[in-house]
Structure 1
Amino acid sequence: YGSSLSISLPSGTVKPGRRIQITIRYTTTDGPAIWWLDSELTCGQSCPLVFTQGHSVCNRSFFPCFDT
């Protein structure tokens, strides 16, 4: 699922040993570990529900990670 992420910074931007913070925003499509329930199928029938079940190698279908 997905592809690798590579971040390149111009030379001299960050000094060695210095911490930086990087924010990554991304979107994803439905995957094998993400399930949606329509409002009609939930308690109270007023809000939809999403839940995830990543197990050993499906976590990568809903957030970028190395899960093998």
Structure 2
Amino acid sequence: MPYPNNGIFNAQIDLDKEQAIDIEIINSQGLPISKASYNGQENYLLNFSLPLGTGVYLMKILTPTHFRTIGFIVQ
């Protein structure tokens, strides 16, 4: 899991080709907290500033060809 943060963090996503991505932040109860879509890049540097309470969260990253889930902690 990435280092704990306070809801303000960056995510760098490097793809093998230009693709659209969908990002979803999910809390420990499985409820979506934030959703966003981005288009037409191979490399993304995303800045997040989310009002999240202390806990464990998941970031779901979906492209047309791949899916990945990354956990992170908010202190």
Is the radius of gyration larger for structure 1 or structure 2?
1
Q: Give the helix-richer structure, 1 or 2.
A: 1
TM-score, structure 1 length as denominator?
0.23
Q: Give the strand-richer structure, 1 or 2.
A: 2
